[in-house]
Structure 1
Amino acid sequence: MPALEFRNATEADMPFLIALRNATMNEHLERVNAARDEAAQLARIQALFEHARIVSMNGRDIGLLKAYKEPTRWNIAQIQIAPEFQRQGLGRAIIEKVLNEASRDQLPTTLRVLTGNPAKRLYETLGFREVGREGVDHLMVCPPRPNPFPASTSASA
């Protein structure tokens, strides 16, 4: 799989982010009768924008990740992959990156997924379990994995 690159999103990315959100979320928002108008989409894009990272592959922007660490958990606020790049393991790779960070910190990772979104199956295969519901969202948590980078226990001479 080609290497994924992450960079901070800027205002210059707004056209890409609006197109990405429309392409990836309209079907799911329509199914749960949630707002899909321009103002609602823009508000969702701007929410937690300080954590927005554009995901690129081979120099082409392909997605968005909003993930951040809090004192007691890591949170994945948004992950979107352009439709033409879905079903190639990229979403899994991106989520694994966050889960590895959370495991290094020995923290669980949380996210929300809309009812009926097939991404829920992916999350479950990665270890997320539903812990509740809030409106049209399933609340999910993944416990930290065994530390992939244990501290060295050897004494120095």
Structure 2
Amino acid sequence: MTTTQSWRDHLHLRKYTTDDIAFMQTLYASIREPELAMTNFNTQERHEFISQQFMAQYIHYTKHYCTDKFFIVEIAGQPVGRIFVDHWDNEIRIVDIALMPEHRGQGLGTHLFQQVMDDGKRLSLPVSVHVERNNPARFLYERLGFKLKTERDDVYLLMEWRPNTL
């Protein structure tokens, strides 16, 4: 397990550019692969599905959110994930966070969340994030103090963390 200080020493966040689209699509595919493994799609169909779904998500994010804090996560100059955050008047929304499989479970996601939560403390704003009901990341969010805000039985659940100052 890597410490917070170690992540600070090795981690770099940089604003995404359109040059990052190929990496982001690969990252997106790594997240969707377990789900697609349960389908009868052939390789070409999987690729087409991932491309279509990724572009739909990308267009949605760039149309509906401020992209000023849409970052590529790098370690030693290599992209390993993304964290997209949007600041609103009444909350900070983690629009998306994803790490390549080989960088999951090492404390990096916790570190990234803690950075956003530190912003929430400093600005006295809650931090929110959507998560799919069965996504294992939900356990991480709960461990970090996020509580369910969604009251309906939706596929995507809204979770919220509130600083003690609220």
User: Aligning the two structures, in what range does the TM-score lie when normalised by the shorter sequence?
Assistant: 0.7 to 0.9
For the pair 1:39 / 2:52, whether they are aligned, the reply is yes
Instruction: Name the CA shift for 1:53/1:92 in 2 (closer, same or farther; >3 Å).
Output: same
Which residue does the alignment assign to 1:138? Answer: 157
Measured in 2, the distance between the counterparts of 1:44 and 1:19 equals 14
8 A Cα contact 1:17 1:45, kept in partner: no
Other structure's SS at 1:24 match: helix
Q: Which residue is 1:18 aligned to?
A: 25
Amino acid corresponding to residue 23 of structure 2 in structure 1: F
Q: Give 1:102's match in structure 2, choosing from 120, 135, 159.
A: 120
User: 1 or 2, which has the higher helix percentage?
Assistant: 2
Q: 2:3 matched to which residue of 1? A: none
1:88 equivalent in structure 2 = 106
After superposition, the CA RMSD in angstroms is 2.1
Count of residue pairs the alignment pairs up = 143
CA distance in 1, matches of 2:120, 2:16: 22
> Which residue does 2:131 correspond to in 1?
113
Q: Which amino acid aligns with 1:85?
A: H
AA at the equivalent of 1:41: F
CA-to-partner distance for each residue in 1:29-74, whole Å, 9 max, x for gaps? 888xxxx542222121333342421000111110000111100000
1:53 and 1:47, CA in 2 relative to 1: closer, same or farther beyond 3 A?
A: farther
Going from structure 1 to structure 2, the CA distance change for 1:46 and 1:7 (only over 3 Å counts) comes to farther
TM-score by length of 1: 0.82
- Could you list the runs of 4 or more consecutive aligned residues of structure 1 that deviate by over 3 angstroms after TM superposition? 28-31
Structure 1: give runs of 5+ residues left out of the alignment.
148-157
Alpha carbons of 1:28 and 1:68: their partners in 2 closer, same or farther (altered >3 Å)? farther
% identical equivalent positions: 27
TM-score (norm 2): 0.78
CA shift for structure 1 position 100: 0.4
Look up the SS of the partner of 2:149 in the other structure: strand
Distance change in 2, residues 1:22/1:113 (3 Å): same
